[in-house]
Amino acid sequence: MATEPPRRIRFGILGCANIARKVSRAILLSPNSTIVAIGSRSLDKAIAFAKENDYPASAKAYGSYDAVLDDPNVDAVYIPLPTSLHLQWAVLAARKKKHVLLEKPVALNVGELDKIVEACESSGVQYMDATMWMHHPRTAEMKEFLSDSLRFGQLKAVHSIFSYNSGTDFLTNDIRVKPDLDALGALGDTGWYCIRAILWASDYQLPKTVTAFSNVEYNESGVILSCGASLQFRDNKLATFYCSFLSNLTMEISVLGSNGFLRVHDFVIPFQENVGPFNVNANTKFAELSIGIEPAPTEYSIETDLPQEALMVKEFASLVGEIKENGSQTEKKWGEISRKTQLVVDAVKASIEKGFEPIEVIV
């Protein structure tokens, strides 16, 4: 007798942000999720968004966020609202027993995030941040190389860059440059990815101190448009990053070990949706007469049937399904990873505000 397929987790979407278009597609591509509701401050906007993004005909459009949270058919919510609204709506969603997939940066500071995660844990609902690249199968393959003591060895240094230049309209009108909406600016947006990459490569060991570089660029409202920092660890490894709204699109991670080196050129969003490449060098030496190196670098290409954002939704929905169907406990690692990322974001911000002094990262 054939078993019934697992019930799809039913999502409600809070807001019609541009990133919600991508995640809506991901929810509909994932085999274990669907969309049943969309809420906006404008009902007309919600209706249009649902139509433009091919929502199921049965999906309801609401003229408020509260209505989505009050819909008994909604199991989980995706929250792509401005960061300044995350605390209010993520906590309310959790209190109304909705599982929370939260866009990054997840909060303005770690104190806000702690309240969000605490609300989720108190209500027994799953929390996850929407850092999509974590869920690409390439990420696990790269980690396998970094864990190889013979080919990679001991981690020595990490460098990450995430930058893009979206032009004057973005720099004038986007929420990410508005102090009342996303006050962390480039640090919270592109910097979040760089910091997560460093922590991922470091097995989520927190740095001892963080020191921001002094070449910070701001807009006229005081929002960060570009910045960088160095992270010093207790075991003497070093990490640096640069994030920007003012530089060419670049999405790099370079990881150096005692025996090997890894580089990926498109870690945030793969250049091609169905494949993720990365390059490694292992036990590299100069060739005879120093006219080259040996062995040659190796390039891997990791294919995937689903884009990374759909794999993110699939994993989140699977966790939600286990909780709903089997009474499983929430997976707490996602809150812990978010918290470590936010701690470093906060430390970089504090270093900038204190004249680029080293800031001790305190758990």
Active site (catalytic) residues: 104
For residues 102 and 128, the answer to whether their CB atoms sit within 8 Å is yes
Two structure tokens written together for 258: 């005692």
Three-state SS annotation for the chain = CCCCCCCCEEEEEECCCHHHHHHHHHHHHCCCEEEEEEECCCHHHHHHHHHHCCCCCCCEEECCHHHHHHCCCCCEEEECCCHHHHHHHHHHHHHCCCEEEECCCCCCCHHHHHHHHHHHHHHCCCEEECCHHHHCHHHHHHHHHHCCCCCCCCEEEEEEEEEEECHHHHHHHCHHHCCCCCCCHHHHCHHHHHHHHHHHHCCCCCCCEEEECCCCEECCCCCEEEEEEEEECCCCCEEEEEEECEEEEEEEEEEEECCEEEEECECCCCCECCEEEEEEEECCEECHHHCCEECCCEEEEEECCCCHHHHHHHHHHHHHHHHHHHCCCCCCHHHHHHHHHHHHHHHHHHHHHCCCCCEECCC
Task: Return the amino acid letter for 265.
Answer: H
Question: Cα-flanking dihedrals φ and ψ of residue 10, to 5°?
Answer: -100, 115
- Alpha carbon 310 to its chain centroid, in Å, reads 14
Name the one residue in this structure whose structure tokens are 């003591």: 149
Reference 223, options 61, 349, 138; nearest CA is 349
